Structures are given as C-alpha cells and as structure tokens.
Amino acid sequence: MVSARGAAAQGGPRHALCGPAMSRLPQRGLVLAARGWRSAAVCKSCALRRFSIQPAQQKKIPNRYLGQPSPFTHPHLLKPGEVTPGLSQVEYALRRHKLMVLIQKEAQGWDSLDHTVILLSNPTYYMSNDIPYIFHQDTNFLYLCGFQEPDSILVLQSIPGKALPSHKSILFVPRRDPNRELWDGPRSGPDGAIALTGVDEAYTIEEFRHLVAKLKGDSNVVWYDLRKPVHAELHSDYMQPLAEVKARSKNRIQAVRHLVQNLRLIKSPAEIERMKIAGRVTAEAFTETMFASKTPVDEAFLYAKFEFECRARGADILAYPPVVAGGNRSNTLHYVKNNQLIKNGELVLLDGGCEFSCYVSDITRTWPVNGRFTKPQAELYQAVLDIQKSCLSLCSPGMSLENIYSLMLSLIGQKLKDLGVLESSITDSHFFKAFISLRMM
C-alpha cells in the first residue's frame, strides 16, 4: 500500500482487529471488554472469539513527551494501555470494529469491493496571526482513535481476501519537527501514535498521497463525508481531487458520519463512568458558585468562579460558553455576555458544564443571588422542579424524548395557569406553537 518505510520502522505492518493482531492487546483490557460485550451488540464471529484471544506484549510508549498525555508522562491520569483517561486501546479498537460491522451491513449485496473509511482531524484555528485557539479535536475522529493532535487522518481499510469487518487501522500524523515543536509543543510522530493508540500502522501525513492514488479505481469504495469536511486544507489537498475522480466512477464516495454517530448513541460502561465524573465535577462547581453569590455581584465573577471550580477538580475546559444571567436576562436563551450586575432580589440562571476526559456535562440551575426566594419566585421555582421530577420519572427504556417533551409542554401550561400567570382559556396548542417556534430558531 503506502511506502513500506513507515511500516518497517515500526516492525512491519500489523493485521486487523479480528485477525492475529488482536493478540497484542493487553489481558486486563480484554477481560474488561469481554464483560462489557455481554450487554452490547457485536458480530457473531467476534463474540465467538472473544475468550480465545491470546494477548501479546503491548508496544512500548516512547520515553518522551507526545502530543497528548500518555501513561509514561501522565501516570496520574492514564493507566498502562489507556489512550485517553479511562478508555483503553481495546475500547477504541472495538469502536472501529463496530463501525466496520455497520459498513458491512450497508454494503450487503454489493459486488466484492475494497472499502476504505477516511476521517480527518480538526485543524488548528487561530485568533490572530500566530496566536492559536485551544485545540479541540473533531469528536468523530476522536471517538475512533483517541488521537488528539491536529492535521491528522484516520483510515480504516478492508483487507484483501478477507471479509468485513476485518480491517486494518492507519493513522497519518504530523512529522516530528524540532523547529515547530519548539513553538507548538511535542508531536507524537508515527511511533508515538502507534504505541499510544494501538492502531495497526502509522505514517507521516505527507505519505497519505500514496494511499489516495490507490483509491481512485472502480474497485474501491471510499467512506468519507464530503458535505462538511472538518479540515479544509486536508480536504482540498487530498479528498477533493479524489472526490472528483470518484464522481465519474460507478463507486461514488459514501457518507460515514451518520454511522459513527449511531455508534456514539450507545455508551459503554467506561464512557458512562466518564460522564458521571463530568456531571459530579459540574455539580460541585455549581454548589461552590452558589455559596460565592452575594449582592450585588457581577455575572463575570460567577462565570470565573464556576470555571475555576471545574478546572480545580480536573476538568480540561468548559463544555461551552456558559450562560450566567441575572434577572430578565435569563429569558435570553443564549445570553453569553455575562457582564451585568445582578441586583439584590434577583434570580441568577447558570447554564454551564465542563469537559472531563473528552466527555461533557450540561446543567442549568437558578437561585436567588441573595440566598432568599421571594414568594412568587419560590412558587415558580417549585413549579419548574415538579415538572422536572415528573419528566425524570418517565426516563426509561421505550419512552421517546418527544413524548417526554410533549408532556413537559402540557405540564408547563397547566402550572402557569395554576399560578395565574396565564389565563385558563389558553389551550395546549398555544404552548406547542410557541415552543415549536423556539426549537426552530
């Protein structure tokens, strides 16, 4: 396939997840993965093999800083075999395997063809000249490999002579460059990318062009999202020319984003644990921010207090720009200026969350900035709390979010009538029209 130099440097190419290379995965990770599979949908062949796999020694992490935390440099964050905190190489490999299972189902009835999945990382964005924004990886790319450097490409490629979901995983990553690393920080390079993520092969980004040349034939089906490329430069350099060739082929490029997002709907036990931690950190930050309230207080102070409390508990960043809105400003759905004084007697609404090890939280709470509800405030607060509890009681398998949403609208209407905020003659249809207009904004 691509230049053999990169593979030779890593001891030769490896095989696909369901092939012999699965033996290199760590024993502890395999045991945990097998436990998780008991409640997960997997292909029959993989399920039959899950207890017969003999793990071999894991690739050694280079004794240097990589482009992201590793078990060598950050043992307080990552255990051996983990790519990102709490998520192992095994878990990421299973995700790639499940994606290829979905592609196998999508391709049923097609002629015998080779399949190649391509996902681009995010680029680095700049606020001005050489001042970058904090890098945040494309979530679909991150979900499948855990690699957190910009300007990279993940490829999942079927193996000639073997049926899907057998495949090999390849990363194309930025070349090690002492001059750029002096400015931007360490890079993992191909050797670090393989050792950290557990992919089968890794090469420098420049070598991707050799693979692209091989994908132009009619026997290759490429799975890639043309409509919304996440990296404009990589798309322009490599994927747009390929798309133009494939447009004249009988095997046009197929979208893959929806398949990845279908996988992301179902969370593994390890993911749920990450989400719980993010929620707990956010809840504790809310509590500390409430205690710090006083009158008058600047919204910016509460914003800063909330972010500090999240970061002090290990959060990487805030999940999104928070809403810290006093008084009537809380009725602006995306109020993010957060620069007004909150006066005595006003309520403050905080809509915030944090990102913790690639998983985020999202919580909204309202409280009196002086610590005491007025009677109307207390009545309205209790009404909202009652509605929330009613909706939470319905959160169970088989219940759709649309049904819960519809119930919420009816309950809000009834509560507002009971409080005398709305006239009793107003029907549920009025609420549905009003909320539908908000959802369309």
Report CA-CA distances (Å) from 197 to 19, 41, 124, 169, 375: 18, 23, 21, 10, 56
Q: How confident is the model at residue 40 (pLDDT cuts 50, 70, 90)?
A: very low
Which pLDDT belongs to residue 193? Answer: 97
Q: State residue 319 phi and psi, 5-degree precision.
A: -70, -30
Q: Which amino acid is at 218?
A: D
Per-residue pLDDT at 183 exceeds 50: yes
Average pLDDT (73-86) is 96
Vertex 36: Cα angle to 32 and 37 (nearest 5): 115
Quick one: what percent of the chain has pLDDT higher than 90?
Answer: 75
| Angle formed by the axes of helices 27-37 and 269-291, nearest 10° | 90
Which pLDDT belongs to residue 426? Answer: 80
Which pLDDT belongs to residue 113? Answer: 83
- Which residue is it, tokens 């994908």? 215
Which pLDDT belongs to residue 436? Answer: 66
Average pLDDT (156-183) is 95
Cβ within 8 Å of residue 429, ≥6 positions away? none
Per-residue pLDDT at 147 exceeds 90: yes
Confidence (pTM): 0.83
Cβ within 8 Å of residue 218, ≥6 positions away? 249, 250, 251
The dihedral over CA atoms of 287, 289, 291, 297, expressed in degrees to the nearest 10, equals -150
Q: How many CB atoms sit inside 10 A of residue 261's CB?
A: 12
Average pLDDT (227-247) is 95
Which value, in Å, is the radius of gyration of the alpha carbons in the chain? 25
Per-residue pLDDT at 8 exceeds 90: no
Report CA-CA distances (Å) from 10 to 60, 74, 168, 334: 11, 24, 15, 49
Residue 36 near residue 65, CB atoms below 8 Å: no
**Out of 276-280, 350-354, 431-435, which region has the weakest mean confidence (pLDDT)?**
431-435
Which pLDDT belongs to residue 326? Answer: 97
Q: What is the mean pLDDT of the chain?
A: 86
Best CA proximity match to 55, nearest among 247, 198, 220: 198
- Supply the DSSP symbol for 421: S
Across the chain, which distance is largest between two alpha carbons, in Å?
Answer: 77
Q: How confident is the model at residue 431 (pLDDT cuts 50, 70, 90)?
A: low
Please state whether beta strands 153-158 and 131-132 pair in parallel, antiparallel, or not at all (unpaired): unpaired
Which pLDDT belongs to residue 273? Answer: 97
Rounded Cα gap, residues 326 and 359, in angstroms: 28
Which pLDDT belongs to residue 336? Answer: 96
Which pLDDT belongs to residue 39? Answer: 39
Average pLDDT (189-199) is 97
Residue 126 near residue 150, CB atoms below 8 Å: no
Residue 5 near residue 152, CB atoms below 8 Å: no
Per-residue pLDDT at 105 exceeds 70: yes
Average pLDDT (206-223) is 93
Per-residue pLDDT at 36 exceeds 80: no
